[in-house]
Amino acid sequence: MHELLEKTEKILKLRNYSAKTVKSYLFYINDYIIFSKDKGIKDKQKAIEEYLLSRHNKKQSSQTINLALNAIKFFYSEVLKNPQKIDLKFAKRSQKLPVVLSREEVEKILNATKNSKYRLMIALAYGCGLRVSEVIDLKVLNLNIDELTISIHEAKGRKDRISVLPEKLLNDLRNIIAGKKPNEYLFDSIRGGKLTTNSLQIMFKKSLANTDIKKPATFHSLRHSFSTHLLENGVDVRYVQELLGHANIRTTQIYTHVTNPSIKNIKSPL
């Protein structure tokens, strides 16, 4: 099994899959192999069905189950070169609306963040629509202060994109890049080098806890809020799609349900 996992890792890397996807695929493939051996299931179709059902019984999300299925399909088709089709449909994804913070709530979180470096990181995530990993990966060369833009390289799906840079943050950004070389990280750790995503997420949770906000917000809620507030400001959904780097406009259109002005203007009969 060790040799198979090594071969899988090599193929994934050659296909230019992200480090996060490689790690996830290897975990689910390894877990599936152990599961099917422990259960003594030799029929491939039945083994996969039972494995996915076991994850469903553990109350795992449809997104997680689909990721496991993708990993197993890749293993059989690309590693084992098994021509037999896996006749399984993906789990239906839930249609939950994203948690969106109001402008006032974003301001409360920023005010509750006493560390200036982390406050700027949170502000950039909201002001530019960045994922937590994208904030961490920012380098000085990604900033185009004169044109008020920020470039994100090899984001999710290995795609590059450009987003807007808030003019309000320019003084803070000029101070933090002073003396730094273009290829240096914008936000480095105390020990030097890149910060971890976990450290930023923990800081966000602490700041959120120090407010009166009751929403189950996460760091990613800042990106949701960026998208929703742009649409509320009248920005065309296609431009929002480009700023977020979404491949499919349907992914961006979920925010139109959050900010539907027609529904918000309806008065309850009570």
Question: Residue 252's closest CA among 237, 263, 269, 264?
Answer: 237
Rounded to a whole number, what is the largest CA-CA distance in the chain?
66
Residue 250 known to be catalytic: no
Q: Across residues 199-213, what is the average pLDDT?
A: 96
| Residue 220 appears among annotated catalytic residues | yes
Q: How far apart are CA 185 and CA 137, in angstroms?
A: 7
246 catalytic residue (yes or no): yes
In this prediction, residue 44 carries a pLDDT of: 86
Q: Which residue has the higher pLDDT, 252 or 200?
A: 200
Q: Which of 210, 207, 227, 258 has its CA nearest to residue 97?
A: 258
Q: What are the Cα distances from residue 103, in Å, to 118, 219, 229?
A: 18, 15, 8
User: With 80 as the cut, is the pLDDT of residue 219 above it?
Assistant: yes
Q: Which of 264, 230, 239 is nearest to 103 (CA)?
A: 230
Strand runs labelled E in the chain: 143-144, 149-152, 161-164
Nearest to 145 by CA among 106, 123, 115, 176: 176
3-class secondary-structure state, position 152: strand
Exposure on the CB side of residue 213, measured as CA atoms within 13 A: 27
Strand order across the 143-144 sheet? 143-144, 149-152, 161-164
One fold for both 2-79 and 103-264?
Answer: no
Report the Cα 174 to chain-centroid distance in Å.
27
Q: Are 207 and 218 in contact (CB under 8 A)?
A: no
User: Does pLDDT of 244 surpass 80?
Assistant: yes
23-42 tens-digit pLDDT: 999 999 999 999 998 888 88
User: Residue range 162-184: average pLDDT?
Assistant: 93
Q: Active site residue: 44, 117, 153, 156, which one?
A: 156
What is the share, in percent, of the chain residues with pLDDT greater than 70?
Answer: 93
Alpha-carbon span 223 to 51, nearest angstrom: 34
Of 9-13, 14-18, 58-62, 93-97, the range with the lowest mean pLDDT is 93-97
Q: Considering the candidates 28, 32, 126, 255, report the single residue annotated as catalytic.
A: 255
CATH of domain 103-264: 1.10.443.10
Q: Is the pLDDT of residue 1 over 80?
A: no
The model's confidence at residue 251, banded by pLDDT at 50, 70 and 90, is confident
Domain 2-79: CATH superfamily is Tyrosine recombinase, N-terminal domain (1.10.150.130)
Mark out the alpha helices in the chain (DSSP H runs): 2-14, 19-39, 44-57, 62-74, 103-112, 116-128, 132-137, 170-177, 197-209, 221-232, 237-244, 249-252, 254-258, 261-264
pLDDT tens profile 100-144: 999 999 999 999 999 999 999 999 999 999 999 999 999 999 999
Q: What percent of the chain has pLDDT over 90?
A: 55
Based on the residue annotation, tell me whether 156 is a catalytic residue of this protein. yes
Q: Which one is catalytic: 119, 131, 224, 229?
A: 131
Catalytic residue among 55, 223, 224, 229: 223
The two tokens of residue 124 are: 């950039």
**How many Cα atoms within 13 Å fall on the side-chain side of residue 10?**
7
Q: How confident is the model at residue 19 (pLDDT cuts 50, 70, 90)?
A: confident
* Mean of the per-residue pLDDT values of the chain: 88
Alpha carbon distance 172, 214 (integer Å)? 30
Q: Which is it for the CA torsion 216, 220, 223, 228, positive or negative?
A: negative
Break the chain into its structural domains and give their ranges.
2-79, 103-264
Residue 206 banded pLDDT, cuts 50, 70, 90: very high
Interval 138-167: pLDDT, tens: 999 999 999 999 999 876 666 789 999 999
CA dist., res. 183 & res. 206, Å (int): 30
Rg of the chain, C-alpha, whole Å? 22
